[in-house]
């Protein structure tokens, strides 16, 4: 972490839900829980359980040719055993906005967002 990044974190205002940002492998995560899940997923990828780990995947949620919003997940990967694409979101609090985006995501893409509770 550079001194500028440290100063920015030291002067940052408290977050809405009390989460603490953390840096792992030079990547900033919004919470310790998200950083911990990243480490778990890296181990699963190294063991061959998952592949194509992606951070902060973006999904345009389009209904009837209208872009309603964009959902940004925490992680997306390919699960080798079940042969499925998985999108995960690490949350301590399931907000109404998240629940709505999760329903839209399911309707548009045909699979659920996996909610990882912190």
Residue 9 belongs to a domain: no
Residue 64 within a domain:
yes
Domain assignment of residue 13, yes or no:
no
The predicted-structure confidence for 57-108, as pLDDT tens digits, reads as follows 999 999 999 999 999 999 999 999 999 999 999 998 899 999 999 999 999 9
> How many domains does the chain fold into?
1
With pLDDT > 90 as the criterion, what percentage of the chain qualifies?
Answer: 78
Q: What is the pTM of this model?
A: 0.80
pLDDT band at 20; cut points 50, 70, 90: confident
* Whole-number pLDDT of residue 19: 78
**24 within a domain of the structure (yes/no):** no
Identify the domain containing residue 99 by its residue range: 31-117
Quote the CA–CA distance of 109 and 61 in Å, as a whole number. Answer: 9
- Of 21 and 118, the structure prediction assigns the larger pLDDT to 21
């Amino acid at each position: 972490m550079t001194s500028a990044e440290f100063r920015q974190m030291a002067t940052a205002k408290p977050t809405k839900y009390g989460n603490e940002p953390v840096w792992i492998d030079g990547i900033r995560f919004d919470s310790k829980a998200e950083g911990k899940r990243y480490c778990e997923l890296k181990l699963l990828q190294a063991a061959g359980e998952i592949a194509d780990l992606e951070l902060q995947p973006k999904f345009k949620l389009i209904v009837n040719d209208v872009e309603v919003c964009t959902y940004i997940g925490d992680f997306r990967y390919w699960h080798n055993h079940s042969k499925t694409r998985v999108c995960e979101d690490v949350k301590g609090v399931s907000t109404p906005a998240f629940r709505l985006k999760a329903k839209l995501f399911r309707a548009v893409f045909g699979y659920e967002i996996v909610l990882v509770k912190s």
